[in-house]
Chain A
Amino acid sequence: MKKAPSLQDLGRFSEPALLVLISLADAPKHGYAMAQDIERISGQKLGPGTLYGAITRLEKAKWIEPLPAEERRRPYKITSSGVAVLRARLESLRAMTRTARSRLADA
C-alpha cells in the first residue's frame, strides 16, 4: 500500500514547511507576512530561499494554494489536505514530546 505523503518527505524543507503551514493555519499570508509570523512564533528567521523552497514544495503537494496577487505579493492559503497533514504532524510531535518528557522524568 502506498504510504500517505507527509511533511518529512520534504527533506531539508520539512521543518520550514511545517512552520509555513502553522503560519497559514489561521489566515492566508504572503511571503513577508509569513516570514514575520514565523519569526514571532518560533524565533527562527527563515531566509528567502528557504521560505520559497518550502512554499514551492507545499504548493506542488497541494497543501497550500496561491490566491490572486496583490501588487507583486502573492498570498497563500492552506488547503484541507494541508490542514490534515499539519494535524498529523502535530500529533506525531505531541507523541514524541510525551515520550521525551516521560524519559526525562525517569532520568
Chain B
Amino acid sequence: MHSDRVARTLLRLYPRPWRGRYGDEFLALVADTGLSWRAAADVVIAASVERARTIAALLDDDGDAPTTQQPDREAFAEVIGFAVFVVLLVVILGAMGVPYPRWLWWIQIFGLAGLGRLSPDLTLGSWFDRASARFVTFARGVALAGLAWLAGFALRSVGVPEPQPGLFFSLVGVFIVLAAVRWTYLFVRPQLNFSKWPVMGAIEAGLWKSISFGILLATALVDAYGEAFWDVAFIIWMFRGFIGPVTSQGVARRRAQHESIFGPH
C-alpha cells in the first residue's frame, strides 16, 4: 500500500479537531510502522469511534464537542446540501409510493438544515459531524413515529378499539391547552426573576413525555395509515424536543456550555 497517501486519506475519517491535534504525529507513526491492511482496518474502526463520540456530544449538546467559528459560505453550503439531500429523499420515497414527508415535516427538515446557525450556543464539530447530527436527529423523529405506528398497529391487531373522535379530539385539545399554559408559565416566570434558565422536575418531564407518546399512540389507532398521524407525530416530536432542555440536567448542560462560550451569566 502507498502508506503515506492512504494514511492521509484514512486520517480524514477522524473528526477535524482530532486531526488538528493528533494528525501530524499520527502520520509520523504510520510512516514509521508502515500500513498493513490490518492496521488500516484498525484505523477505520478507531476513527469511527471518534466520529461517534463527536456526534454523540453534538446530540447531547453537552459542551464536549469542540467549538468552531463556521464561515457563512460554509454554513450556507451545508444548509443547501442538507436541503438537496431531503429533496432527493422525498423524490425517492415518492417514487416508491410512500406518502412522506407531510408538509409539517418539511418545516422540521429545514429547521434541521439550519441547526447550528440558529443556535449560537451549540458547539459544533466539522461539517460531517453536523450533517451526521442532523441525520440522526431526523432519523430519531422518524423512529419515534414509527414506534408509535407499530404499537398502534399491534394494539389494533389485538382488538383494542380506536378512540371515539370526540374523545380523541378532546384529549388532543386538552393536551395542547395544558402544554401551552405550562410552557408559558415555565418561560415567563424566570423572566420575572431575571433568569433565563427555566427548570422542570424529572417526574413532570417524564409525565409530559408519556402523555405525548400516548397521544401519538391514539393517533395511530385513529388514523392508521393516514396523513393526520404524520402531522401529530411531527407536533409530538417537536414538543418532546422542548422537554430535554428544561430538565435540571438539560439546564445544567446548557448553562455550562453557554458560560464556556460567553463567560459566567
Contact = CB atoms under 8 A, between A and B. Distances in A.
Interface of A: 12, 30-32, 35, 47-53, 55-56, 69, 71-74
Contact of A31 (B26, B38, B39, B50): B26
A48 B25 contact: no
Contact of B29 (A12, A31, A53, A56): A31
Nearest to B29: A31
B46 A52 contact: yes
For B22, B25, B33, B42, the residue with the greatest tally of chain A CB atoms inside 10 Å of its CB is B25
B59 interface: no
B28 A49 contact: no
Contacts, number: 63
Given A32-B32, A32-B33, A56-B18, A49 B45 contact: yes
B24 A72 contact: yes
A73 B44 contact: no
Contact of B22 (A47, A50, A55, A71): A55
Contacts of A48: 26, 29-30, 33, 35, 39, 42-43, 46
Nearest to B27: A72
B28 A73 contact: yes
Contacts of A72: 24-25, 27-28
A49 B32 contact: no
A96 B73 CA distance: 58
Given A48-B43, A49-B47, A50-B46, A71 B38 contact: no
Given A35-B33, A56-B18, A56-B50, A49 B42 contact: yes
Interface centre among B22, B35, B44, B50 (most CB of A within 10 A): B22
B47 A47 contact: no
A28 to B, nearest CB: 13
Interface residues of B, number: 23
A61 to B, nearest CB: 14
The 7 closest A-B pairs by CB, nearest first: A47-B42, A49-B46, A72-B28, A31-B29, A49-B43, A32-B32, A49-B42
A56 B49 CA distance: 12
A35 B50 CA distance: 20
27 contacts: A12-B49, A30-B29, A31-B29, A32-B28, A32-B29, A32-B33, A35-B33, A47-B41, A47-B42, A47-B43, A47-B46, A48-B33, A48-B35, A48-B39, A49-B39, A49-B44, A49-B46, A49-B47, A50-B42, A52-B26, A53-B49, A53-B50, A55-B22, A56-B22, A56-B50, A72-B27, A73-B28
A69 B42 contact: no
Contacts of A55: 22
Contact of B25 (A12, A31, A35): A31
B180 to A, nearest CB: 40
Contacts of B42: 47-50
Among A52, A56, A71, A73, max chain B CB count under 10 A is at A52
